[in-house]
Amino acid sequence: MSSDAHAHGAADAHAGTRQGQLIGFGASVVLTAIPFLLVMSGAFDKQATALIIMAFAAAQVFVHMIFFLHMNTRAEGGWSMMALIFTIIMVVIALSGSLWVMHHLTTNMMPMHEMGQTP
């Protein structure tokens, strides 16, 4: 491995190899399994679990971008960095929007007897 590869980190150096593909796959499996186990075990309250799942989802997006889409800061004259910034913005919008919609569905779809009203 060249000194240039060391300067940009081990993830960039292995991103295009079979070893990099296997590392990315393993990381994706772990980043999927941990939130699944947290939900199934009920170790945290709902809000903490949702925040943890969002963090793992964001980490998984970055794993996919590095190991499977081969994005880094030096490729394609910086356009990969622009794509990274766009991806970050879209992930934030999608995650926060999903949580906002789910929260409002929960509060607005409450059965009548739980709100203190009778039909």
Within the chain, what is the greatest distance between any pair of CA atoms? 73
pLDDT, tens digit (0-9, with 9 covering 90-100), for 47-106: 899 889 989 988 998 888 888 877 776 766 667 778 778 888 998 899 899 989 988 888
pTM above 0.75, yes or no: no
**Residue-level pLDDT at 88:** 83
The residue extents of the domains of the chain are: 20-70, 75-108
C-alpha–C-alpha distance, residues 24 and 91, integer Å: 19
pLDDT band at 1 (very low <50, low <70, confident <90, very high): very low
With contact defined as beta carbons under 8 Å apart, do 71 and 65 qualify?
yes
Enter the DSSP assignment of 76: G
d(CA 116, CA 119): 10
